[in-house]
Structure 1
Amino acid sequence: MELIQSLAKRASLITKFVYNHEFLLAFLRKREGWTEIIRPGPTRFATTFIALKSLHKHQHDLTALVTSKTFVESRYYRDPKARDFIVVILDSRFWNDVEIIVKIVAPLVCLLRIVDGVDRPSLGYVYDDMFGAKKAIKSIFMNKKSLYIPYTRIIKQRWDKHLRQQLHAVAYVLNPSFYYDRKNLSQKPEVMAGFLEVLTTQVD
């Protein structure tokens, strides 16, 4: 999405300016509870969101930096690149957008951890966790379709292309955690159709 690309670009601008100036980094490292900012990767999907989350945690530190007397009276304040750096940090819309994206991605990161995890077989949980991730995203936008649909549409496209498999539907339906919970077991046509198709294939 263009929004995410724009946020990643501005986040990169912030981290580059900070880490290219030891004076600024020294100021920030003196802040209580300071941890290093994770820098956005150029292409990797997950790295971008981890970096945005890390940057969001440092909003108050960065705001304190650009509004401090120490910075304003320093030569770095007059650096040609400082203007863009300051504008981004003082842009409340930027931070609001970062916060929303971080909240949206959180359930997806949890899903990826489950898929890649070794603590339990993930096959029987993929469908349920995907449903849960989409539900969490909808709740962020108070279930207003016009707001959440751009994000759930992207998830659906990725899901259809890479993860949707009939075997996942079968594993989901037969998973005891869901099989005996008929009230909450998904009755979506895609789930039942996938389950019945695999069952029919095995019988044939």
Structure 2
Amino acid sequence: MLERPHLYWTPCATHCVDLMLEDIGKLPMIKNAIKKAIYMNGYIYNHVAVVNMMRRFTNQRNLHRPAVTRFATSFITLAQYHKQKNNLRKMVTSEEWIASKWQKDAGGRKMTSIILQDTFWRNVLYALKLVGPLVKVLRMVDGDKKPAMGYIYEATDRAKEAIAKSFGHKEERYKEAFEIIDKRWDCQLHRPLHAAGYFLNPEIYYDNPEGVSCQEVEKGLYESIQRLVRDEATQDKIMVELDAYKNATGLFGNAMTIRHRKMKSPADWWSCYGSSSPNLKSFAIKVLSLTCSATGCERNWSVFQHLHTKKRNRLA
């Protein structure tokens, strides 16, 4: 980076959020819930008869659901268990289960005791309250619907607000999880580039201009302009054009422009309606079109590994 001072280095957002989930998953209550859910998953899906019985009680619903990352999969599986709590309890207390050989098996008895434990379900609910909003952030940054650069800054704040609200703002319940989130956020995703994307996203900015125009966000915007735009004359033009964006004057105040703030992706919106501020438009599109995650590339590489393995190359 010393050789290229006009560029930013940012880590993969999907990987960063996944590390948050991994660290939260190490909290004792959550670790205990995941461990028991993994055990039950293994026991149920290793016995075809138990799988069929489970599906009859859950209306053909599965308990295991793959997700973007391994840790997201664990928490989404916990969510499935929570949804099927009553059906699973009906299964292990039914005459069919009691009469089956699984009730007499040591593994089956262990699974039954877990399903009937109130502490297990309390731990599952606690885990879902902590990580549910973060899984939504993970889906957003890994999605293909719209570039996440203009949304990730706000998404993390909203996730924390949702977690606090789910616990009735009792800080002792989520304090440790917040420390984990802040630790990852501050060292990996708290970058001027994300602040600039947040400020230049019309969907967010015009809904709450006073909240977006805070010192931290504006500082990130100005640092990004100085770093990505090397010509000082162009920097000055961008700063002048920024006033038109803030005050929604010129094309920014057009009725159709206002209507499309939430209908178009941020980069497309600037491409369509930023002509009256050409220098700011070019900068905004550059920032808002950036990719936050490397998972798309990783998927391509994983497919490539199936086609070109060491063994196959040696045979060739």
Category of TM-score, reference length = shorter chain: 0.7 to 0.9
The unaligned stretches of length 5 or more in structure 1 are none
Aligned partner (choices 171, 193, 196) of residue 219 of structure 2: 193
Q: What's 1:56 paired with? A: 82
The CA deviation string for residues 175-203 of structure 1, in whole angstroms up to 9 with x for no partner, is 2223332244263x543432343345555
Q: Look at both structures and tell me which one has the larger radius of gyration over its CA atoms.
A: 2
Q: What's 2:33 paired with? A: 7
Q: What's 2:52 paired with? A: 26
Tell me, yes or no, if the aligned pair for 1:8 and 1:40 is still in contact at 8 Å.
Answer: no
Q: How many residue pairs were aligned? A: 202
Q: What's 1:159 paired with? A: 185
The CA deviation string for residues 73-99 of structure 1, in whole angstroms up to 9 with x for no partner, is 322212122332111100122112212
TM-score, scaled relative to structure 2: 0.58
Give the C-alpha shift of residue 156 in structure 1: 1.4
Q: What's 1:120 paired with? A: 146
User: After the TM superposition, which residues 1-204 of structure 1 pair with which residues of structure 2 at under 5 Å, given as runs?
Assistant: 1=26, 2-31=28-57, 33-38=59-64, 44-180=70-206, 181-185=208-212, 187=214, 190-201=216-227, 202=229, 203=232
Give the C-alpha shift of residue 168 in structure 1: 0.3
The CA deviation string for residues 150-183 of structure 1, in whole angstroms up to 9 with x for no partner, is 2222111222233221100111122222333224
The unaligned stretches of length 5 or more in structure 2 are 1-25, 236-316
Instruction: Give the 3 Å change call, closer, same or farther, for CA 6–29 of structure 1 in structure 2.
Output: same
Tell me, yes or no, if the aligned pair for 1:12 and 1:39 is still in contact at 8 Å.
Answer: no
Aligned partners of 1:10, 1:37: CA distance in 2, in Å? Answer: 13
Aligned partners of 1:40, 1:98: CA distance in 2, in Å? Answer: 18
Of the two structures, which has the highest relative contact order with CA contacts closer than 8 Å and spacing of 6 or more?
2
Instruction: Give the 3 Å change call, closer, same or farther, for CA 29–155 of structure 1 in structure 2.
Output: same
Give the C-alpha shift of residue 139 in structure 1: 0.3
What secondary structure sits across from 2:59 in the alignment?
Answer: coil
RMSD: 2.4
What secondary structure sits across from 1:81 in the alignment?
Answer: helix
Tell me, yes or no, if the aligned pair for 1:40 and 1:47 is still in contact at 8 Å.
Answer: yes
TM-score, scaled relative to structure 1: 0.86
Q: Which letter does structure 2 place at the counterpart of 1:173?
A: F
